[in-house]
Amino acid sequence: MRFEDLLRPTPKGLYCPPGGFHIDPVRPVERALVTHGHADHARPGHAHVMATRETLDIMGIRYGEDFAGATQQAAYGEVLDINGVTVSWHPAGHVLGAAQIAVEKDGIRIVASGDYKRRRDPTCASFEPVKCDVFITEATFGLPVFRHPDDRDEIAKLLKSVEQFPASAHLVGAYALGKAQRVIALLREAGYAKTIHIHGAMQKLCDYYQSRGIDLGPLAPATIEKEERDRFAGAIVVGPPSAFADKWARRFPDPVSCYASGWMRVRQRVRQMGVELPLILSDHCDWDELTETIREIAPREVWVTHGREEALVRWCELNQIRAKPLNIVGYEDESE
Amino acid sequence: MKPFAELLDRLVLTPSRNAKLKLLVDYIAATPDPDRGYAIAAITRDLDIMSVKPAMIRALVSERVDEVLFSYSYDFVGDLAETVSLIWPSPEAENQEADLRLSAIVEALHAASRSDGPKLVETWLDDLDSSGRYALLKLITGGMRIGVSSRLMKQALADYGAKDVTEIEELWHGLAPPYAPLFAWLDGKAEKPANLAAAPFRPVMLANPTDLDELARYAPSDYMAEWKWDGIRVQVTAEDGVHRIYSRTGDDISNAFPDLLAAMEFDGALDGELLVGHAEEGGIRTGTFSDLQQRLNRKTVPAKLQAKYPAVLRAYDLLQEGGEDLRPLPFEQRRERLERFVDTLPAARFDLSPLVPFENWDEIAAKRNAPPDPVIEGLMLKRRDSAYVPGRPKGPWFKWKRDPFLVDAVLMYAQRGHGRRSSFYSDYTFGVWTGPADDPLLVPVGKAYFGFTDEELKQIDKYVRDNTVERFGPVRSVRAEPDHGLVLEVAFEGLNRSTRHKSGIAMRFPRISRLRWDKPPAEADRLETLEAMLD
């Protein structure tokens, strides 16, 4: 059997012909295996969805309980059989519940890693490398200029600014699933104990994280009456990036706009987005982590998807590793 | 280097003046000598160090990084220094403990020969983290553009030491990086350093804006009026054979005006307006503001340019004559001395700003709006008995600008603001009509981001959101058609010809003066109206 007979890109997403299932399909299918809860990977409307308990819960929170015809839970470490194909689930370190899916038949194993990162994250299980013949890797930050600094330094930048500008509210743009909770958890680790204010769109997911035992400390909704805007002087407010360009942000005194994202590494992006305090915090691997992961797993072939495929493929060529771009459409950088 | 690199990154992205001051003051307070002095000089671009060509940096990086990967990255990032700072492969994990100091780099560059350059830079690139590498590369390639003027820096130093900014200005020229005596004084550890430099800067006296209502409280006979010229306010000083031209904040700008400098054959200090002017029968014919712009922001001035746009001084005041300090004298007396003094100077380079006689405020108000020269921006009113004192005291001197030009333009694009305005579309590009009358099209003529009230800002913001045609990142284009659009009354100080703008004109100091919700866009002005205003 060739690798492509076990797993291949199709317009609906990665498809496993012998198993009869798709991984992270971008259109409704009969049977979907979903790596994690970000909207471009986890879409509603499939007849049957298999994912980790957290991913299923998150899909339920985002799309309503009837997001799929039927659901089936899979735990990290669990090994299942689907039409003679062995499927196993492994932590990806991306967001709560994120999994890599290993697909195996006739002695060939392919790992679809979804989105992943290697550094420690207090809000989710760490990535586990899985030996395989083909490793499918994302390349969101697949350029050698992307090297994320230490999280703690970035959080320290934010806390220093809060101290320097006590009359301002610091608005931290962060995506609602994963990034927001991670920013909050990192602030707590840095010793910030005050109430953190959150945008309404994050409430349910923050509640859910807390219910899964991830301590985010005191949170309060960022709603106020007009006359008490000064209450937010010195506050940290976390909200989706889109909200800060919106009228919503006007309630805050002298806001300093911050944005937690791997894209903040590039100054031109920072300026384009009107960000004053960039926080380079990513839920994806940086270049060094991508290349180290490939070396560590040492697959016979690397398939590169969503992001800057060409640079990572070039790196593989320079290192005598077989690699090709997958060119699957439909994945965005939602989680960044 | 880390605190310096961090300061640069924050300054570039911080729009608010007060916030910039806060960042600078905190940095000065937290940073030891001599690093803080070098940092200040680097930011105001007063640091004279060996410069390095971008080609050398590219050569260094090409030894370390695959060409193809580098070009993918450069395409994405778009800036050479930034690409190199991010992509540079450090030999080991970034060493945060042993932070290389800015002073170590500056001093090594001072001591180094040109051939040592690449080796030094390579070592530093290895030792620094990516922000540090970025700061280093900007420093040595002369690409430091931070948005901090020398004036703002002096204000930060004054704030840090709780001094008046004019005291810093007075000293500034006599100091050199890393400014150790200045910091010793600001820290309260030493006396104020004496400015021992020859031909020192004397802090400038400034005027407050005024209007007819305010002037009614004063007696017209106590004041003298003169034209306010639209050039650069300067102080020209020649003492003991040393000749200098200072900006009004005490920066030495002599090198930009060698032609005027060479004509300064006198002993004294003059306050005046630097203009471009052509010597003619009976005086100097004033060049336009666009002519003057040919002479601004230049490090070197080719002889051809000096001949085509000669720099001249139109004198306002005499501060020093020989050994005598005239500043305590009443203005009226200084003026007499000035007239006699200027009489002795080369007539092709120096003349007087003439007085404007008047009996009462209404008379001078009328003259204000009918100036004899387009390069006049209004009037100065000076009390006859006023001494020349630093700063902007209330009462002795007033400036009274002529009414601005007005044009009705149509809003075309709006861009999101920064800071407290980041949720508002607050920067507006506006245009006027051109082309055939039955099928006109708009051509942009300027951009303005102030002049309106907070309430008006909300109204325009709502209009922009409700009438968006297209979005490009932070910019939206809005409906702007003959029968649907928002007319803005724009005030401005003058027009220049411009080859960079499609309309061929550039506005000086445009701002929104009124929202014309009542006016149909078809009735906004046409480009011909503006072209007729060009001289």
| Residue at a domain's end among A279, A299, A315 | A279
Distance from CA of B475 to the nearest CA of A (A): 10
Q: For B417-475, give the secondary structure using H, E and C.
A: CCHHHCCCEEEEEEEEEECCCCCCEEEEEEEECCCCCHHHHHHHHHHHHHCEEEEECCE
Do A267 and A295 fall into the same domain? no
Nearest to B22 among A165, A257, A310 (CB): A165
3 state DSSP class of B42: helix
Higher confidence at residue B249 or residue A137? A137
Interaxial angle between packed helices A309-318 and A287-297, expressed in degrees from 0 to 180 and rounded to the nearest 10: 50
- Contact check, Cβ <8 Å, B423/A250: yes
Question: Looking at the partner chain, which of B19, B22, B86 has a beta carbon nearest the beta carbon of A147?
Answer: B86
Are A268 and B79 within 8 A, CB to CB?
A: yes
Residue B105 has pLDDT above 60, yes or no: yes
Q: What is the pLDDT of residues B266-312, one digit of tens each?
A: 999 999 999 999 998 888 999 988 788 889 877 788 999 999 999 99
The percent of residues above 90 in pLDDT, for chain A, comes to 84
pLDDT in the model for residue B339: 97
Q: Provide the Cα torsion B487, B492, B498, B500; round to 10°.
A: -60
Question: Which residues of chain A are within 8 Å of residue B416 when distances are taken between CB atoms?
Answer: 245, 274
One domain, residues A128 and A33: yes
In the predicted model, what is the mean pLDDT of residues B33-45?
93
A162, A138: one domain: no
Pick the last residue of a domain from B141, B163, B179: B141
Q: Specify the pLDDT at position B334.
A: 98
Please report, for the domain that includes residue A177, its CATH number.
3.40.50
Q: Are residues A162 and A201 in the same domain?
A: yes
Mutate to test the interface with A, among B12, B420, B475 (most CBs of A within 10 A): B420
Q: What is the CATH number of the domain that holds B503?
A: 2.40.50.140
Nearest CA-CA distance, residue B391 and chain A, Å: 29
For residues B104 and B101, give the distance between their C-alpha atoms in angstroms, rounded to a whole number.
Answer: 5
Cβ contact (<8 Å) for A276 and B419?
A: yes
- Residue A336: inside a domain: no
Distances from the Cα of B201 to the Cα of A54, B386, B498, angstroms: 70, 20, 35
Query: Are both A135 and A30 inside the same structural domain?
Result: yes
pLDDT at residue number B535: 59
User: For chain A, what is the domain count?
Assistant: 2
Residue B448 has pLDDT above 90, yes or no: yes
Interchain proximity A315–B22, CB inside 8 Å: no
CA distance B292 to B276: 5
- pLDDT above 90: residue B145: no
pLDDT digits (tens, 9 = 90+) for A72-131: 999 999 999 999 999 999 999 999 999 999 999 999 999 999 999 999 999 999 999 999
Whether the ω angle into residue B3 lies within 30 degrees of 0, i.e. cis, is no
Distances in whole angstroms, Cα of residue B37 to Cα of each of A147, B107, B191, B193, B206 = 31, 12, 18, 16, 29
Indicate whether A227 and A293 sit together in one domain. no
Helix H or strand E segment including A98: none
A17-41 average pLDDT score? 96
Note the pLDDT of residue B60: 93
Question: Where does the pLDDT of residue B91 fall: very low under 50, low under 70, confident under 90, or very high at 90 and above?
Answer: low
- How does DSSP classify residue B505? E
pLDDT at B93: 52
Length of chain A: 336
How close is the nearest chain A Cα to the Cα of B415, in Å?
Answer: 10
Helix/strand/coil (H/E/C) assignment for every residue in B261-311 = HHCCCCCEEEEEEEEEEEEECCEEEECCHHHHHCCCCCCCCCHHHHHHCCE
Q: Judge whether B123 lies within some domain.
A: yes
- The reported pLDDT for the residue numbered B533 is 83
Closest Cα in chain B to A161: B23
Q: Is A110 in the same domain as A55?
A: yes
- Minimum CA–CA partner of A247 in chain B: B423
Judgement on whether residues B104 and B212 belong to the same structural domain of the protein? no
Check residue A321 and give its pLDDT: 96
Residue B489: what residue type?
A: E
- Based on the fold, state whether residues B336 and B250 are members of the same structural domain: yes
- The reply to whether B297 and B393 lie within a common domain is yes
The 10 Å Cβ neighbour count of residue A218 is: 10
pLDDT at position A231, please? Answer: 82
CATH number of domain containing A67: 3.60.15.10
How many A×B Cβ pairs under 8 Å?
Answer: 98
Total tally of structural domains belonging to chain B: 3
Mean pLDDT of A25-44: 96
**CA distance linking residue A100 with residue A92, whole number of Å:** 5
Mean pLDDT, to the nearest integer, of B181-207?
Answer: 90
Q: Is residue B187 part of a domain?
A: no
Q: What is the pLDDT at residue B50? A: 81
User: Residue A111: in which H helix or E strand, if any?
Assistant: strand A108-112
In tens, the pLDDT along A247-273 reads 778 788 888 999 999 999 998 888 888
For residue A242, give the chain B residue with the closest CA.
B423
Residues B439, B395 share a domain? no
Q: Is B420's CB within 8 Å of A266's CB?
A: no
Q: What CATH number did the domain enclosing B313 receive?
A: 3.30.470.30
Residue B252 has pLDDT above 80, yes or no: yes
Among the partner-chain residues A244, A268, A318, the one whose CB lies closest to the CB of B422 is A244
Min distance B452 CA to chain A CA atoms (Å): 17
Complete edge-to-edge strand list for the sheet that includes strand A8-10: A8-10, A13-16, A21-23, A31-33, A46-51, A68-73
ipTM greater than 0.95: no
Helix and strand numbers (H, E) in chain A are 9, 19
Per residue in B468-527, pLDDT (tens digit) is 999 887 899 999 999 999 999 999 988 888 888 888 898 988 999 999 999 999 999 999
Judge whether A283 and A116 are in contact, CB under 8 Å. Answer: no
Mean pLDDT of A183-194: 97
Residue B63 inside a domain? The answer is: yes
Asked if A144 and B65 come within 8 Å (Cβ–Cβ), the reply is yes
**How far does the CA of residue B414 sit from the closest CA of chain A (Å)?**
13
Domain shared by A187 and A125, yes or no: no
- What is the model's pLDDT at position B174? 83
Which of B104, B123, B141 is the endpoint of a domain? B141
- Residue A256 to residue B474, Cβ atoms within 8 A: no
Contact A267 B82 (CB under 8 A): yes
Same domain, A71 and A138: yes
Is A104 in the same domain as A179?
A: no
- Domain interval for residue B391: 208-401
Same-domain status, B462 and B323: no
The dihedral through the CA atoms of B183, B186, B191, B196 has a sign that is positive
Predicted local confidence at residue B374, as pLDDT: 84
* Same-domain check for residues A135 and A262: no
A→B contacts (Cβ < 8 Å), by residue, are 143-147, 149, 157, 161, 164-165, 244-250, 254-257, 265-268, 270-278, 308, 310-311, 314-315, 318
Query: Would you say B413 and B475 are in contact if contact means Cβ atoms under 8 Å apart?
Result: yes
Give yes or no: residues B242 and B359 share one domain: yes
The whole-chain average pLDDT of chain A stands at 93
Of B230, B238, B495, nearest to B344 by C-alpha is B238
| Chain B residues within 8 A of A229 when measuring between CB atoms | none
Query: Does residue B148 fall inside a structural domain?
Result: no
- Residue B493's pLDDT is what? 85
Domain CATH code at residue B12: 1.10.3260.10
- Does residue A331 fall inside a structural domain? no
pLDDT in tens, A3-24: 999 999 999 999 999 999 999 9
Q: Which of A140, A141, A143, A272 to mutate to test the interface with B (most CBs of B within 10 A)?
A: A143
Q: Do B269 and B237 form a contact (C-beta atoms < 8 A)?
A: yes
Q: What is the pLDDT of residues B342-396, one digit of tens each?
A: 999 999 999 999 999 999 999 999 999 889 988 899 999 999 999 999 989 988 9
CA distance B373 to B75: 50
Q: What is the mean pLDDT of chain B?
A: 91
Structural domain for A139, as ranges: 3-145+284-325
Instruction: Evaluate whether residue B458 is within a structural domain.
Output: yes
pLDDT tens figures, A280-311: 999 999 999 999 999 999 999 999 998 888 99
Q: Does residue B73 lie within any of the structural domains?
A: yes
